[in-house]
Amino acid sequence: MRGAGVHLEDDSVDACIAAARDRAGEIGAAFVHAFDDPDVILGQATLGLELLDDVPDLAAVVVPIGGGGLAAGVAGAIKAARTHVRVIGVQVEACAAFPASLRAGAPVTFDAAATIADGIAIKRPGELTLPLVERWVDELVVVREDDIAEAMVWLLARAKLVVEGAGAVGVAALLAGDLVPPARGSTVIVLSGGNVDPGLLAVIAQRHETTAGRRLRLFTRISDRPGGLAGLLTLIAEAGGNVVHADHVREGMPLHVRETGVEIALETRGLGHGDSIVSALEAAGYAVRRLDLAAGSRLEGWE
């Protein structure tokens, strides 16, 4: 409506910043850095002021760190008023540029990998933010991708909050035991955004169900005659499993001419229940292989 144009540039924040800076130079526009700008840092510091007003017994604040603007602003505001409050920054393992930069005393470019915490996937700290983080942030924690995914599901299921990967890193650090909150006072975890694709959120939730044992994938052989599949499904139903998907697999498998392979996805009540379903099938004469999301070829281990 205001005549602005949106241009997509590469697949990283760093590339977008470089392109925006070049464009601003071409047309004589003002360039506003996403995090390495004193006014932006001061604006983000207002979150720290709100915490000081709203949480009288504030003992620690856990803040996601990408380029460092939010962490620097929040930490600066809090430390100016209550020096005893701990400020803990959290980065994602796939793009953790601050540890090496702090050791070097200057911004170091990180060889980043793909991450679900793309909102903080900044390969290089800011020239302004690095010394501010070094001065005011008490501790830096690096979390893993799997822990971020679990934190996103936990927030969705327990807190009824949709939080993107970048915003969930503080909860990930706490749930994984990477940081221990102070014994006294309140610990605040900043959830810095909810910009997550619904499809990705669904995949993460389903993956959680699999790792928690409430979703199970099996492969087995059955007789390729009428009633072969019905017999298998009846046993699963009697064991309390709920089949959500079943596929015949006839190609690329070492099968007898009168056999067919079957890959089944089912819902269970948990790991123990899944084990009991597998045991029931094996007791009935089925050779069962459990498949997980990270498994390789389904032929592996079959003769």
pLDDT at position 303, please? 42
Say whether domain 33-204 belongs to CATH 3.40.50.1100.
yes
33-204 and 213-291: same fold? no
- What residue segments make up the domains of the chain, in order of their start? 1-31, 33-204, 213-291
As a whole number, the mean pLDDT across the chain is 89
What DSSP assignment string belongs to 141-182? EEE-HHHHHHHHHHIIIII-----TGGGHHHHHHHTTSS---
Tell me the per-residue pLDDT of 34-63, one tens digit each, with 9 for 90 and over: 999 999 999 999 999 999 999 999 999 999
Distances (CA, A) of 165 to 87, 120, 121, 171: 20, 9, 10, 10
Tell me the per-residue pLDDT of 11-26, one tens digit each, with 9 for 90 and over: 777 788 889 999 999 9
Joined tokens for residue 114: 């793909």
- How large is the C-alpha radius of gyration of the chain? 25
pLDDT at position 225, please? 84
Q: Answer whether 0.85 is exceeded by the pTM.
A: no
Number of residues in the chain: 303
Burial 132-170 (b: 16+ CB within 10 A, else e): bbbebbeebbbbebebbbbbbbbbbeeeeebbbbbbbbb
Across the strands, what pairs with 92? 143
- Tell me which of 3.40.50.2300, 3.30.70.260, 3.50.50.60, 1.10.1660.10 is the CATH number of domain 213-291: 3.30.70.260
Q: Using CA atoms, how far apart are residues 72 and 65, in angstroms rounded to an integer?
A: 9
